[in-house]
Structure 1
């Protein structure tokens, strides 16, 4: 469960307005109490007694006694009643003002649903207004991301259908030729069977990569992580890629120290490094060297893959998109589906890391940042 950190917000305007209202009510109560106290003494008390005598035809002594019994003796009760009335008045006033504020906030929340709704609250609720506007922008960004994800999902189906159709058509075409020409010479027959087999392998690769990206997107279980000797993992991957390297006269130079240790899922990270190296082999200059290096920094390990070859700046931000290819004309030669780097990015992000590409002066560098080994799994003292 995600724990949200409590933030301190500045409600000074609202607090100031509430304080001013309370001061006015309190001042009014003090004034009324002061006036009431005047009733029990001095000329004001005499005038009230005279008024009672005239109104009820009483003698001065009777009027003074009536005044004394009604007001002077009950002054403490009168003052208590006045204080209670003013407290209720203050509470009522504050309740009404806050009810108005709550109504504004509710209306502001309703405006979040309306894309064109303008959120505007009282000056005292400036903090809440800014927060609602921020939430509105966040919801819009999430909605855009959701639409973009849906579009990518649609594109994935379209691209997969297109990419699957090409090798599938070739397989069916060559098998059809073999079926229609049973007397075909053995040499030609062998050639067609080999081509159909290559296209079938291509089709299998596409389907496997498609299920890989779907699996990476849908997995929610925590990764099973362990310590990884990065140097030896790279040695093993380079050996597996030797046939592809040898066919174009390229080689991998492993400059990683044998002491560098990663913490992650070995199979997933091997897939990441394998995909990046395949991309480097496919798009680097022939007879060039692909260099791998790693550097341990505070809190993270940075792995770099460097090769000769340029990537246009406008394409650096999209090469990790699903089904993106730098050069679609080289598809048949490289066998790429455009999913390799997208898969690599998904895996790195699931590890809490980051991946990026830089290209300048004829050199392309892919950088992967992964969190360092947590203290609890490290053999060293933290």
Structure 2
């Protein structure tokens, strides 16, 4: 669709052509008037004889000068008008033809005559925007298809296990109580995993489709992070990981504590999943004037830059196989990003060698 600026440019060119038209008409009338005056002066400068054929014609012109002038003006004006109308129509046709190429996939830029240079620029800008929007639409369609595929994959895996173990319990009534308890426990774990996935799907959909309201409170962020670290200590121990924290005392922040806790929970879980065994997980809290920075760093496999830029995308997993044993649904970091955005903050990832760092930057006072 042609932008308002292009419409303005087109009307500007129309006004310019109309101005040129009136200038041409004025020049034509001026030349005609000058011609009449020159002819009269020439005629008055010599003696004419009554039977001179030139005199007869000049006399006829002089007697009918007004009528002849009007006829010449009408004819000349008609010719000039037609020339300018045809030129304007050609401009419009050229612009319309160029506008049809706005969504053309070819890389050749729109080119118009020099008098339409301004419109040419605007059309090329609109074309680039239309092509970008087209790419975004394709990406949105791809994300929708990926959503369906990931939902099917991530939900099917635990559901298949639940059905399998329950079927085994039904078909094998003579199983020992120990095996029954074992299979029941496995089925329950898979069912809980299924519930967790469904809750994550609902949560990311809620962030995307509804306006989430923050329940703001002024909290001691230092104490919150210390409590979260204590809660994760047993989980770290299972993988031989240890905490290395730098948490200054009594750093306060206005935020939604429940949602912000979810952010740190996701970052720490992500660090645990992708950490090498027997390495530290570092958590640092800093405050510089009104800027509060929280960094979670772990040691693991380097993340390539092209993947680093995508880790906050919905359903994106570093392992393309989407193995449920090595990661979640790919929604944790996407949810964390949405929560940080609600707090008008920033979140980003860095990877240098074996060090993988996720940084949250919050601005105390932006929400107050």
The TM-score normalised by the length of structure 1 is 0.73
Q: Does 1:321 find its partner at 2:349?
A: no
Q: Is the 8 A contact 1:320 1:345 kept in 2?
A: yes
Q: Is the 8 A contact 1:358 1:365 kept in 2?
A: yes
Structure 1: give runs of 5+ residues left out of the alignment. none
Aligned to 2:247: 255
Q: Does 1:171 find its partner at 2:162?
A: yes
Please show how residues 251-290 of structure 1 align to structure 2 within 5 Å.
251=243, 253-255=245-247, 258-259=250-251, 261=253, 266-285=257-276, 286-290=278-282
Structure 2: give runs of 5+ residues left out of the alignment. none
Aligned to 1:107: 97
Q: Is the 8 A contact 1:235 1:254 kept in 2?
A: no
User: SS at 1:98's partner residue?
Assistant: helix
CA distance in structure 2 between the aligned counterparts of 1:170 and 1:51, rounded to whole angstroms: 124
Q: Is the 8 A contact 1:256 1:294 kept in 2?
A: yes
The TM-score normalised by the length of structure 2 is 0.75
Count of aligned residue pairs for this structure pair? 356
The verdict on how the C-alpha distance between 1:369 and 1:91 changes in structure 2, with shifts beyond 3 A counting, is: farther
Q: Does 1:356 find its partner at 2:316?
A: no
CA distance in structure 1 between the aligned counterparts of 2:84 and 2:212, rounded to whole angstroms: 51
CA distance in structure 1 between the aligned counterparts of 2:143 and 2:55, rounded to whole angstroms: 97
CA distance in structure 1 between the aligned counterparts of 2:364 and 2:129, rounded to whole angstroms: 31
Pairwise CA RMSD: 4.5
Q: Is the 8 A contact 1:178 1:189 kept in 2?
A: yes
* Superposed CA offset, 1:208-229 (max 9, x none): 112222222323x364474654
* Superposed CA offset, 1:166-217 (max 9, x none): 2222222222232233343322222222111111111111111122222223
The verdict on how the C-alpha distance between 1:296 and 1:140 changes in structure 2, with shifts beyond 3 A counting, is: farther
Q: Is the 8 A contact 1:22 1:90 kept in 2?
A: no
Alpha-carbon distance, 1:110 to partner: 1.4
CA distance in structure 1 between the aligned counterparts of 2:107 and 2:353, rounded to whole angstroms: 49
* Superposed CA offset, 1:24-51 (max 9, x none): 65544433222233345x333467x959
Aligned to 1:143: 134
Aligned equivalent of 2:151, options 160, 164, 167: 160
Please show how residues 6-85 of structure 1 align to structure 2 within 5 Å.
26-40=26-40, 42-45=41-44, 50=48, 67=62
User: SS at 2:100's partner residue?
Assistant: helix
